[in-house]
C-alpha cells in the first residue's frame, strides 16, 4: 500500500481511455519503465465475454476500443481503478485518422456505427467524419468518468508534466527518466 497525501493507494488497474492517434502506444512504452505495474497496449482487444476484462491486478492498459464497452468496463472495475483520459488536440487527432480513413477504427465507425453514412453523404468531407469520431469517443469517455473518484485528464501536448503527475498519483516505481524519454519518440506515427 502506498500513501499519497490523505489517500491510501493500493495498486489498482490503470485504464488509459482515448480515441486512438493520441499517444497511447507511447504511453505504454513509457509505462514499461514502471516496475510495480505491468502494462500493455490493446492486449485483450481480441477477447470476448469476461475474458475481455481479465486484466491482471496492478496493470496499465491503453486501448481505444474500451470507449465502446464502457458499461462493461464499469461493471468489471467500477470505481476500483484509476482512469486516464488521454487526449490530443481534436483536429490533430482527426487529421491523423484521416491518413487511416479506410482502415481500422475509422472504417468501422463510418461503415458500421454510422451505417455507411460516408457513402450516403457525398457532401460531407472525410475529415468531418474523423472529427465526429473524435467528438463521439471523447464525449463517451467524459460521461463515463463523471462519477469516478480516481481519474485524470492527460493531454499529449503536455505529456511530460502529465506523466509526472500520473507517476505520483498511482505510486509508480521504476526509472522515471527513462519513462519520460519515451515521450520524445513518436511511436506508431501515421505516415
Assigned domain for 50 exists: yes
Assigned domain for 150 exists: yes
Tally of domains within the chain: 1
pLDDT of residue 2: 46
The more confident residue out of 188 and 41 is 41
pLDDT of residue 175: 98
b/e per residue 88-97 (b: at least 16 CB within 10 A): beeeebbebb
Residue 7: CATH number of its domain: 3.40.50.300
pLDDT of residue 10: 67
pLDDT of residue 5: 46
Assigned domain for 91 exists: yes
Asked if the model's pLDDT at residue 23 lies above 90, the reply is yes
What confidence tens digit (pLDDT) does each residue in 120-129 have?
666 679 999 9
What confidence tens digit (pLDDT) does each residue in 150-169 have?
999 999 999 999 999 999 99
DSSP states along 40-105: EESTTTT--GGGGG-PPSSEEEE-GGGGGSHHHHHHHHTTSEEEEEEE--HHHHHHHHHTTTTSHH
Q: Which domain covers residue 53, as residue numbers?
A: 2-182
Asked if the model's pLDDT at residue 1 lies above 50, the reply is no
Assigned domain for 131 exists: yes
Assigned domain for 191 exists: no
pLDDT of residue 111: 86
Assigned domain for 161 exists: yes
The burial of 51, by beta-carbon neighbours within 10 Å (0-12 exposed, 13-18 middle, 19 or more buried), is given as exposed
Assigned domain for 27 exists: yes
Confidence of residue 9 (pLDDT cuts 50, 70, 90): low
Assigned domain for 188 exists: no
Amino acid at each position: 500500500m502506498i500513501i499519497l497525501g490523505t489517500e491510501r493507494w493500493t495498486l489498482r488497474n490503470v485504464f488509459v481511455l482515448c480515441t486512438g492517434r493520441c499517444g497511447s502506444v507511447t504511453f505504454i512504452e513509457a509505462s514499461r519503465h514502471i516496475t510495480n505495474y505491468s502494462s500493455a497496449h490493446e492486449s485483450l482487444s481480441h477477447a470476448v465475454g469476461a475474458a475481455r476484462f481479465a486484466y491482471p491486478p496492478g496493470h496499465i492498459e491503453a486501448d481505444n476500443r474500451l470507449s465502446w464497452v464502457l458499461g462493461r468496463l464499469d461493471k468489471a472495475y467500477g470505481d476500483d481503478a484509476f482512469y486516464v483520459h488521454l487526449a490530443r488536440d481534436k483536429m490533430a487527432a482527426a487529421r491523423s485518422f484521416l491518413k487511416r480513413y479506410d482502415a481500422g477504427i475509422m472504417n468501422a465507425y463510418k461503415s458500421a456505427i454510422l451505417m455507411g453514412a460516408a457513402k450516403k453523404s457525398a457532401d460531407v468531407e472525410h475529415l468531418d467524419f474523423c472529427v465526429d469520431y473524435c467528438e463521439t469517443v471523447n464525449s463517451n469517455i467524459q460521461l463515463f468518468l463523471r462519477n469516478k473518484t480516481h481519474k485524470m485528464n492527460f493531454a499529449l501536448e503536455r505529456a511530460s508534466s502529465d506523466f509526472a503527475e500520473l507517476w505520483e498519483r498511482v505510486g509508480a516505481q521504476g526509472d522515471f527518466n527513462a519513462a519520460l524519454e519515451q515521450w520524445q519518440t513518436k511511436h506508431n506515427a501515421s505516415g
